[in-house]
Amino acid sequence: MKFTIERVSFLKLLSTVNVAIGQKSPTPAFLNFKLEINDNGLVVTGSDNDITIQSVLPFMKEDKEIISNYTEGSTLISAKYLIEIIRRLDSQLVTLEIIDDVIVQISDNKSHFQLNAMRSEEYPDLDLSVIGEKVSIKTEDFKKIISQTAFAASTREVRPILTAVNFKANEGSAEFVATDSYRLAKKIYEIDSSASFEANIPVKVLNEVSKLLEDNEIVLNIASNKVVFEFGNTKVFSRLINGDFPKTSRMIPSNYPFVLQINASRFIDAMQRVSLLAIERERIVKLSIDSDLVEISSKSEQIGSANEKIELFQYEGGRFDISFNVDYVIDAIKAAQSEDVVLSFAGEMNAFRVTSPVDETIVQIITPVRSYY
Amino acid sequence: MKFTIERVSFLKLLSTVNVAIGQKSPTPAFLNFKLEINDNGLVVTGSDNDITIQSVLPFMKEDKEIISNYTEGSTLISAKYLIEIIRRLDSQLVTLEIIDDVIVQISDNKSHFQLNAMRSEEYPDLDLSVIGEKVSIKTEDFKKIISQTAFAASTREVRPILTAVNFKANEGSAEFVATDSYRLAKKIYEIDSSASFEANIPVKVLNEVSKLLEDNEIVLNIASNKVVFEFGNTKVFSRLINGDFPKTSRMIPSNYPFVLQINASRFIDAMQRVSLLAIERERIVKLSIDSDLVEISSKSEQIGSANEKIELFQYEGGRFDISFNVDYVIDAIKAAQSEDVVLSFAGEMNAFRVTSPVDETIVQIITPVRSYY
């Protein structure tokens, strides 16, 4: 195998695939990129066994030659060192060549590197088939869905199912739900497919894919135990998380006698200030509402107390106090992505709802906490 | 004590003094700012017992009122919370008031904080006298001296004396020397004072002072066991480090038969690329020079090898190889702060010198390392 390649395109390709590669692995081959020159161009594969990314760089792009002087073949080469070398070179072109079975030379006009490599046969067999129900989503919409739901998933592995976003589709209507059992985010989205399925996709994969996206559209292929994301010349393969996602409809109250509409950024600023003293583990602040009053307060025996009143708001309901984790409420308000936000309360000890007054597709539910002052 | 203060000026004052305050302290009072309103304005003091910073904000600045509605008095208030609160408020003015012996209220139009405080009598007695030999240095020069020497000091407390910069003055000529025993940086500087002294100033303090400087001039007051830096309305007090600084003249060869002059940034870039594979503890690269060749190389059994030739250079001397810690050489070349740099070698196992061809006041000495290839 030998090829000369446009350095910046090569670096971008490697950076994409590198997202799948870990710092450590019980399988040393997984610390490498698999590079292969075949009829399609340069195919680069990276994996940590849970996530696999494969991306292709064609020989030509828009009549411009990207890869030249190539011969077919394949090799495994340290992801960490290859990406650093390609990043640091300052030439426009770089040449890679297997000069011995297990040595790859990387060079431009000035610098020469000889990296120890592995034979490509040593790479584990990976299932790279693209099967399952196909759903296309606009890139912009996909990023928005992920930003509105993913933060509510659990980051702890105690209950693995809660580290997934539950993606359900039925007759053209899809639902994305994430919950860490203290809060929940639910997004409704219409899809152009009559497919019916339910899949628990690891939130980590969704976040990574969302960051990588550049093209107009992403295609999800949902099979019984895996999902394949396709965008541009890249495919991302991930297992699904096994188990039943909790029946979240139970968490959502049906009746809200107390309804507050308020400016989102003004409310967030006030909560951030008042919560400066709420350093304990639960980051609790108290919200007190009445027809002529919205006040946020916090108190710590050791440090002191804080309070702030907000003057502009609309409220329906009687005098009402509730305490909550301030970070959960700030996350939920940001996810509403609207100028004003509506908080609907069922009672002082019931879960409450955060919605946008202009977008019915996104709903957030938060459990309150008990407060002792 | 009560005062209303221009918020941004207050935040700047607190940020300066906060540099002296640690995250933890066996003396709880040291986690506080000492605030005092007296005839001079607002005096804020912070200390971790090793370094003390005191800064004054006058009531008026250039005919503009900075502090108003004040009554005299003093208090101790948590540095961590006060600075966060003042940073997060978004009003132009903020009011502080002792509302009980040990409670301070901080408020603007919207937000109200009540912080638990301590009586100012609980602050330890600190020696804030300004004594010793006075030396004035232009701010610009002081920053340059520190950037050219401080990095060569040791960061390890095993030999505390090596964590100091040795500052010696005699009949108008001053010398700043730092060494970690593997490398040395020496700067000559003419001072406008006939004072004669020697002081070992902690490098940590010099770095912090250098970052805080804004005015045109800094005055150092060197006493037998302490140094006081004065600039603007701020004073920084630090102990000196006890002990004898090593006789560094021994480290410096007197005769250099091999002399290379080369472009600094081209040389640094090449070393950074070649050292990508030099991940071992000592970060060794090898420099090979001859009349028609400058080559940098590195080799790792596990990873591979790298080399790069540089074409433009001037060299006097015969064929010559030397190995060294690449980071030390890059630091030294950067400190020369010139387009070209001169490397002078005494022999393959002798310390070598890095200088600027246009500035004789800065000299760097580096010990080579043995290499096995």
Average pLDDT (A336-351) is: 96
Beta strands in A247-371 (DSSP E): 258-263, 284-290, 293-300, 304-310, 313-316, 320-325, 340-345, 352-356, 359-366
Amino acid A372: pLDDT: 64
Q: pLDDT band at A373, cuts 50/70/90?
A: low
- Pair of tokens at residue B76: 């101790």
B78 with A112: Cβ contact below 8 A: no
B116 with A302: Cβ contact below 8 A: yes
Reported as type and span, the H/E element at residue A217 is strand A217-222
Question: For chain B, what percent of residues have pLDDT higher than 70?
Answer: 99
Give yes or no for residue A286 having a pLDDT over 70: yes
Residues of B in contact with A111 (CB under 8 A): 270, 273-274, 306-308
Our CA angle for A220, A226, A231, nearest 5°, is 30
Task: Give the count of beta carbons closer than 10 Å to the beta carbon of residue B81.
Answer: 22
Average pLDDT (B134-157) is: 96
Q: Tell me the Ramachandran region of residue A59: left when phi exceeds 0, alpha when psi lies from -120 to 50, beta otherwise.
A: alpha
A270 with B304: Cβ contact below 8 A: no
Give yes or no for residue B109 having a pLDDT over 90: no
Amino acid A281: pLDDT: 64
Average pLDDT (A348-370) is: 95
Spatial separation of the C-alpha atoms in residues B302 and A104, rounded to whole Å: 13
Give yes or no for residue B87 having a pLDDT over 90: yes
Q: What's the Cα-to-Cα distance from B224 to each of A230, B165, B241, B244, rounded to whole Å?
A: 71, 15, 10, 13
CB burial of residue B318 (10 Å; 0-12, 13-18, 19+): exposed
Q: What is the pLDDT of residues B168-216, one digit of tens each?
A: 999 899 999 999 999 999 999 999 888 899 999 999 999 999 999 987 9
Taking alpha carbons only, the member of B199, B215, B57 closest to residue B136 is B215
Q: pLDDT band at B75, cuts 50/70/90?
A: very high
Closest CA of chain B from A299, distance in Å: 9
Give yes or no for residue A366 having a pLDDT over 80: yes
Least confident of A227-231, A271-275, A301-305, B224-228: A301-305
Taking alpha carbons only, the member of A79, A64, A151 closest to residue A115 is A79
With beta carbons less than 8 A apart as the criterion, state whether B138 and B216 touch. yes
B90 with A116: Cβ contact below 8 A: no
Q: pLDDT band at A121, cuts 50/70/90?
A: very high
Q: Considering CB atoms only, which of B103, B111, B116 is closest to A308?
A: B111
Give yes or no for residue B297 having a pLDDT over 90: yes
Give yes or no for residue B373 having a pLDDT over 70: no
Average pLDDT (A176-182) is: 96
Amino acid at B61: K
| DSSP helix/strand/coil, B87 | helix
Q: pLDDT band at B250, cuts 50/70/90?
A: confident
B276 with A306: Cβ contact below 8 A: no
Residues sharing a CB contact under 8 Å with residue B283, sequence separation 6 or more, in sequence order: B275, B325, B326, B327
Q: What is the pLDDT of residues B253-278, one digit of tens each?
A: 999 999 999 999 999 999 999 999 88
Amino acid at A105: Q
Taking alpha carbons only, the member of A23, A25, A29 closest to residue A126 is A29
Q: What is the pLDDT of residues A31-80, one digit of tens each?
A: 999 999 999 999 999 999 999 999 999 999 989 999 999 999 999 999 99
Average pLDDT (B38-48) is: 97
Give yes or no for residue B372 having a pLDDT over 80: no
Spatial separation of the C-alpha atoms in residues B124 and B179, rounded to whole Å: 34
Residues of A in contact with B114 (CB under 8 A): 304-306
Residues of B in contact with A309 (CB under 8 A): 110
The complex's ipTM works out to 0.87
Q: What is the pLDDT of residues B306-360, one digit of tens each?
A: 999 998 999 999 999 999 999 999 999 999 999 999 999 999 999 999 999 999 9
Q: What is the mean pLDDT of chain B?
A: 95
b/e map A159-193, b = 16+ CB within 10 Å: eebbbbbbbebeeeebbbbbbbebbbbbbebebeb
Q: Considering CB atoms only, which of B114, B270, B304 is closest to A304?
A: B114
Closest CA of chain B from A300, distance in Å: 10
Most B-contacting residue of A104, A114, A311 (CB-CB within 10 A), to test interface: A114
Kindly list the residues of chain A whose beta carbon comes within 8 Å of any beta carbon in chain B. 78, 81, 84-85, 88-90, 103, 110-116, 269-270, 272-274, 276-277, 302-309
Average pLDDT (A133-142) is: 96
Residues of B in contact with A32 (CB under 8 A): none
- Helix B264-274 / helix A79-88 crossing angle, nearest 10 deg: 170
Q: What is the DSSP string of A43-58?
A: EEEEE-SSEEEEEEE-
Q: How many Cβ pairs within 8 Å bridge chains A and B?
A: 80
